[in-house]
Copies of this chain bind each other. A is one copy, B any other.
Amino acid sequence: MARRTAARNRRRARPESGESLTEQAYRALEEQIVTLEIPPGTVVSEAILAARLGFGRTPIREALWRLARERLVTIIPHRGIIVSEINIKTQLRLLELRREIERLVAAQAAKRASEAERKQLDAIVGGMEAAAAANDDRAFMRLDREYNEVTVAAARNEFAASAMALLQGLSRRFWYLHYKEAADMPLAARLHAEVARAIARGEVEAAKKASDRLVDYIENFARATVGLD
């Protein structure tokens, strides 16, 4: 059914993938920026990225616009695009907001999580503790991401979900930059586990307190990177 359009394919464009090129471009760019593959401060242009990623300018432009709203890049009209610098003070302001949303998410997840989600959380924090013991940072990051996805989904609030998604990229990038100097993975795993346990038991107040302790740790981690503690 319907002839292939393979003749027009770019390196990785996949028309039958069901995902728009804009979406693909966004994911690719977000990944490269968050993992520091494109370092902070890099100046790029739509044309450069379009050539580099093998997309047209339109998907790249829309992806960049979205990244700009997430503060991962800054678009300067008629000048170019700068990958945002990472700044400790900015990070602390971000955590001010994240603390509130994280607490809300924990509380609502404790109220609303399904049985399957509670079990899933349990498995994830188990994996985190194992990854921390084995000092496997890649696995830890992947599990942290899963943990966030599950709790946010369990909280059943699409607004909190998108607000958190917005903050995650910037938070993860900061972590990528500094975790080698200052991260205490076993402690982080334990704090995650405490939140997860409270959620699993449906203990709302305990979940809130545990969430605050977790963000306390993240905040201390951030401060430690500049010795402001």
Contact = CB atoms under 8 A, between A and B. Distances in A.
Contacts of A94: 159
Interface in A177-218: none
Interface in A1-38: 20
Interface string A154-180: 001111101100110000000000000
Contact of A100 (B100, B162, B167): B100
A93 B159 contact: yes
A86 to B, nearest CB: 15
A227 interface: no
20 contacts: A65-B65, A69-B69, A69-B162, A71-B158, A93-B156, A93-B157, A93-B158, A93-B159, A94-B159, A96-B104, A96-B157, A96-B160, A97-B101, A97-B104, A97-B157, A97-B159, A97-B160, A97-B163, A163-B163, A163-B166
A64 to B, nearest CB: 11
Interface residues of A, number: 25
A27 B59 CA distance: 23
A103 B100 contact: yes
Interface in A58-104: 62, 65-66, 69, 71, 77, 93-94, 96-97, 100-101, 103-104
Given A100-B100, A158-B93, A20 B65 contact: no
Contacts of A93: 156-159
Nearest to A163: B163
A28 B94 CA distance: 30
A108 interface: yes
A162 B71 CA distance: 11
Contact of A159 (B104, B157, B158, B167): B167
Nearest to A94: B159
A203 B66 CA distance: 37
Contacts of A159: 93-94, 96-97, 166-167
Residue in A69, A71, A100 with the greatest tally of chain B CB atoms within 10 Å: A100
Interface in A129-150: none
A62 B20 CA distance: 15
